[in-house]
Amino acid sequence: MKSSYRPFLLLLPLLSPAAFGAALSPACKPIMEAMEKTLLADHTTTTTRAGSDVNGITVGGTMYIQIKGAWRKSPMSAQDALANSRENLQAAKEFNCSPLADSVIDGTPVANYATHEVSEDGGNDGKVSISRSSGLVIRVENDLKGGPESHYVTRYGFGSVKAPM
């Protein structure tokens, strides 16, 4: 990956099939549409890995990340993150999606999808949960393969989002 903002970029299995080196299954379309809609909307994120949290806020296309309690403006905009995601996923050898059973997360009915990516760096198995009412992603889980395996969970929030600085 080109960026040190890997937790954010893991959340971007999106955009048109032409953006990928591997052919996408038709089941990926709802995920791609929801991720693009989500990432361009004002939102908060909390990514949990190994018991520690990384918080993010996106407002008006500007991304902020909280590091050691202090908020910093990301050098990447939401549009930059989308472009970087396209570039990173262009090298994917395989990218597949499949629907899972619907569920409810924090009172919100969601459609769930499994994702599987194979890349030169190893790959990633994920689960994306999309709100049935808004079409926005509310939770993403990722298990990275290759090198030290890591499990990430990212939760999205959309109410009254304001820039932290």
pLDDT, one tens digit per residue, over 11-25 is 443 333 334 455 667
- Strands 70-77 and 62-67 come out as antiparallel
Domains of the chain, with CATH numbers? Answer: 6-157 (2.50.20)
Calculate mean pLDDT across residues 21-43.
83
Q: Decide if pLDDT at 134 tops 80.
A: yes
Rounded Cα distance between 95 and 38, Å, is 20
What per-residue confidence (pLDDT) applies to 28? 85
pLDDT in tens, 52-98: 899 999 999 999 999 889 999 999 999 998 877 767 666 777 888 99
Q: What is the 3-state secondary structure (H, E, C) of 30-68?
A: HHHHHHHHHHHCCEEEEEEECCEEEEEEEECCEEEEEEC
Q: Is the dihedral of CA 70, 2, 32, 50 positive or negative?
A: negative
Q: What is the mean pLDDT of the chain?
A: 83
- What is the reported pTM? 0.83
Give the CA count within 13 Å in the CB-facing half-sphere of 104. 3
